[in-house]
């Protein structure tokens, strides 16, 4: 699965296409030093997931067909230009491509973001990909632990192999619902560190400290008027989008 994901990314790059890994393979790509924790924590790979620009859809479709993939017409009918799922009968691979944004419990917009990394979506978007899940499960908590353990939390803009807390804080300062889900999930990750005996005390201390740094940045970021007005309503009104089983994907 890893080799197939890399093959598709490489072929897309040769064609000047912005096809970037997200999901499990993106985490594997960016966490070489601590990926062993995912094995210890029983995290397994499933599908190959990509983000792409809708403007490049036709060229991506052509490439996938050349690679022996067939699209699931029912999913294409359901999601139109937003998403496409491909299957390859010759190798059993399943590929999911999200165009322009990841539409889950909260939307993650890829506009202008896919040129920041050569193989994956940027690290802040990878973290948000997991933290936007309202009913977060164990595999997403494990991915988050490993991602944070591997990388620094940056406060001064985009930098290689650094989670840009400033970008996340700015994004969430205009969306109380997204902010609430992310901060709730970060607390869940921190609280559950003790549940994994595979982690060392150094692992737990590192991840916990970085979560505190990130949460402090989210807290002090100036909030917009719309954020403040929505915060008054709180969880009395639903703050997230419903996601069915076909939508979940990553």
Q: Is residue 217 part of a domain?
A: yes
Q: Is residue 144 part of a domain?
A: yes
pLDDT of residue 250: 64
Nearest-angstrom CA–CA distance, 31 and 29: 6
Name the token pair of 37.
């924790």
Q: Is residue 176 part of a domain?
A: yes
Q: Is the pLDDT of residue 243 over 50?
A: yes
Nearest-angstrom CA–CA distance, 69 and 62: 10
Q: Is the pLDDT of residue 186 over 70?
A: yes
Q: By residue range, what is the domain housing residue 113? A: 2-245
Q: Is residue 115 part of a domain?
A: yes
**C-beta neighbour count of 63 within 10 angstroms:** 18
Question: Residue 49 is inside which H or E element, if any?
Answer: strand 48-52
Q: Is residue 82 part of a domain?
A: yes
Q: pLDDT digit string (tens) for 79-133? A: 778 899 999 999 889 999 999 999 999 999 999 999 999 999 999 999 999 999 9
Predicted model pTM: 0.92
Q: Is residue 250 part of a domain?
A: no
> In degrees rounded to 5, what are phi and psi of residue 98?
-105, 125
Q: With b meaning 16 or more CB within 10 Å and e meaning fewer, what string describes 192-219?
A: ebeebeebeeebbebbbebbebbbebbe
Q: pLDDT digit string (tens) for 20-69? A: 999 989 999 999 988 888 777 776 666 899 999 999 999 999 999 999 99
Percent of the chain with pLDDT over 70: 93
Total domains present in the chain = 1
Q: With contact defined as beta carbons under 8 Å apart, do 157 and 169 qualify? A: no
**C-beta neighbour count of 82 within 10 angstroms:** 16
DSSP state, 120?
B
Taking each helix axis as running N to C, give the angle between helix 123-131 and helix 165-172, from 0 to 180 degrees, rounded to the nearest 10: 50
Collect all residues with Cβ–Cβ distance below 8 Å to 231 and sequence separation of at least 6.
Answer: 176, 223
Q: Is residue 15 part of a domain?
A: yes
Q: Is residue 116 part of a domain?
A: yes
């Amino acid at each position: 699965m890893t080799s197939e994901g890399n093959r598709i990314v490489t072929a897309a790059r040769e064609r000047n296409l912005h096809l970037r890994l997200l999901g499990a393979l993106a985490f594997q790509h960016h966490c070489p030093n601590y990926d062993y924790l995912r094995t210890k924590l029983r995290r397994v790979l499933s599908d190959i997931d990509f983000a792409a620009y809708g403007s490049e859809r036709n060229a991506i479709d052509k490439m996938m067909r050349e690679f022996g993939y067939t699209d699931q017409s029912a999913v294409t009918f359901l999601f139109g230009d937003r998403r496409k799922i491909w299957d390859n009968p010759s190798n059993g691979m399943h590929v999911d491509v999200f165009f322009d944004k990841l539409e889950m419990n909260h939307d993650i917009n890829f506009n202008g973001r896919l040129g920041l990394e050569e193989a994956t979506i940027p690290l802040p978007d990878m973290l948000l990909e997991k933290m936007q899940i309202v009913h977060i499960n164990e595999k997403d908590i494990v991915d988050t632990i490993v991602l944070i353990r591997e990388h620094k939390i940056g406060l001064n803009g985009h930098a290689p192999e650094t989670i840009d807390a400033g970008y996340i804080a700015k994004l969430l300062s205009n969306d109380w619902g997204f902010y609430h889900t992310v901060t709730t999930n970060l607390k869940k990750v921190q609280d559950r560190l003790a549940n994994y005996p595979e982690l060392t005390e150094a692992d737990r201390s590192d991840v916990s400290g970085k979560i505190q740094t990130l949460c402090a940045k989210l807290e002090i970021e100036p909030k917009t008027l719309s954020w403040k007005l929505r915060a008054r309503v709180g969880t009395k009104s639903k703050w997230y989008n419903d996601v069915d089983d076909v939508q979940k994907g990553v």
